[in-house]
Amino acid sequence: MSVQEFLDNHMLSRKIEDAVNAAVRAKSPDPVLFISNHIKKSVSSVITKITARQVLDSRGIPTIEVDLYTNKGMFRASSPSGNCTGIYEAVELRDGDKGRYLGKGVSRAVKNVNERISEALIGMDPTLQSQIDQVMLDLDKTENKVELGANAILAVSIAACKAGAAEKEVPLYKHIAELSGKTSTVLPVPSFTVISGGAHAGNNLAVQEIMILPVGANTFEEAMQMGSETYHQLKAIITEKYGTSGCNVGEDGGFAPNISSFKEGLDLVKEAIDQTGYNGKIKIAMDVAATNFCLGTKYDLDFKSPNKSGQNFRTGEEMIEMYVQLCAADYPIVSIEQPFDKEDWENTKLLSAHGICQVVGDDLLMLNPKCIERAINESTCNALLLKMNQIGTVTEAIKAVKLAKDAHWGVVTSHRCGETEDSFIADLAVGLATGQIKAGAPCRGERLVKYNQLLRIEEELGERAVYAGLNWRLP
């Protein structure tokens, strides 16, 4: 017997002895079960098994799901996916076999988890999130995770985070807060998608999303009520003006009536807010996703229209004028996401300098630390969109949020158009106190699973629950 084996056996004997004494003191009616549970609790968990599989996301496109095991149980996580990938974004690994799922399969990523990642992580302590993530980064050896796939790495990273929380016997959001060095948690203001356009819907609207933020609510539960009521009031308005077909929904659950202008969509949303009586308590945000309709140095607001007149091209300067006019008009717009092309740093900076609203970097930043640092140094925008799959690990996401918060930026925790039933970003938003969460409309299961988890968290926190509310940008 080796020295290590002797020590291990000695420690186990001590744990058994402690468990027997505890069972005697507790006068347990089932001492065998009591002793077994006591020993399990006293033995530190390690990762014992990791398995991955291919599942489908909310669009019916393959993604990867991971089951990570410790002696505390099994912990499941899955990777979301977006419509497009930026040049600075971590790369999700796809098979490219056009004969299976049109080339979108993820069997290569699954194999990487089941073989290479699993072998590297088995035996590690799940509470050591940064070490687990670093092992995967070292194994990948590329800057954008193209070797193993960001989708493979992310699913394992999230599953390990859940296992770490279970090992510490604390809620997931508390574990995330502790990983970030914080002790306080905040319930975010939900940014509900109510009208979909752009790449997310089949209408002619260029802007990708119009959203509502119940900043005037006192609790997250009240914010959910306000969002739901306004959403259904908007449905009634759209039905009356455009017919029932106008209430078809886009990928994020927002309504997709056949409208073509920013103003037409904003008028509908403003009317719904007024009719529900939440004027002043609900603000409006837009995800323009302008990269989708940028042609050279101009922006084609008719890019989806089959009957283009050629009259709706805007220069960057004209786009800024439009945004300023919309915010100066009677629309309570407080946030604009990706107002220009992913490479249009100059116009984004000029819009931010106007100070009319929060300007959120998405394609511009891709959660890439170098891009974030550049944007901070050049005052290009003033808010970060936190999309986990753009960076690939929990540890890197925490660091990116710290960069943004140190610069006094807002942070929007965000879903993707290709979502799963995983509610992880709800706990992430609370644990990192981002103050804002964008998870789609108050409908569709893969969206509601995030919002419903936030309701549970608020209930669990009870009197300790803090809703970001009017402090949504800097909670």
Q: Which residue has the higher pLDDT, 272 or 13?
A: 272
Residues of each domain in the chain carrying CATH 3.20.20.120: 180-471
Cβ neighbors of 253 (< 8 A, separation 6 or more) are 193, 196, 440, 441, 442, 443, 444, 447
Q: Is the pLDDT of residue 353 over 50?
A: yes
Q: Which residue has the higher pLDDT, 259 or 171?
A: 171
Q: Is the pLDDT of residue 4 over 60?
A: no
Confidence of residue 32 (pLDDT cuts 50, 70, 90): confident
| Enzyme catalytic residues | 252, 387
Residue 2: its pLDDT value, please? 52
77 phi/psi in degrees, rounded to 5: -150, 155
> Any binding-site annotation on 302?
no
Residue 227: its pLDDT value, please? 98
Yes or no: domain 180-471 corresponds to CATH 3.30.420.40: no
Query: Considering only 19-23, 208-212, 375-379, 429-433, which range has the smallest mean pLDDT?
Result: 19-23
Confidence of residue 90 (pLDDT cuts 50, 70, 90): confident
pLDDT tens per residue across span 238-257: 999 999 988 999 899 999 99
20/41 Cα distance (integer angstroms): 14
Tokens of 326: 């919309």
State mean pLDDT over 376-387.
Answer: 97
Order of strands, sheet of 49-56, starting from the edge strand that comes earlier in the sequence: 49-56, 62-70, 73-78
State mean pLDDT over 325-339.
Answer: 93
Q: Which residue has the higher pLDDT, 18 or 146?
A: 146
Residues of each domain in the chain carrying CATH 3.30.390.10: 47-169
388/383 Cα distance (integer angstroms): 16
Confidence of residue 7 (pLDDT cuts 50, 70, 90): very low
Residue 310: its pLDDT value, please? 62
Residue 86: its pLDDT value, please? 59
> Any binding-site annotation on 178?
no
- Is-contact 88 371, C-beta < 8 A? yes
**Mean pLDDT value across the chain:** 91
What percentage of the chain has pLDDT greater than the value 70? 91
Residue 130: its pLDDT value, please? 98
pLDDT tens per residue across span 109-157: 999 999 999 999 999 999 999 999 999 999 999 989 999 999 999 999 9
pLDDT tens per residue across span 35-54: 666 555 556 789 999 999 99
Q: Is the pLDDT of residue 434 over 60?
A: yes
State mean pLDDT over 345-360.
Answer: 97
Confidence of residue 328 (pLDDT cuts 50, 70, 90): confident
**What does the buried/exposed string (b/e) look like for 380-412 if buried means 16 or more CB atoms within 10 Å of the residue's CB?**
bbbbbbbbbbbbbbbbbbbebbebbbeeebbbb
What percentage of the chain has pLDDT greater than the value 90? 80
Classified by CATH at the fold level, domain 47-169 comes out as: Enolase-like; domain 1 (3.30.390)
Q: Is the pLDDT of residue 65 over 70?
A: yes
> Any binding-site annotation on 362?
yes
How far from each other are the two terminal CA atoms of the chain, in whole angstroms?
57
43/55 Cα distance (integer angstroms): 34
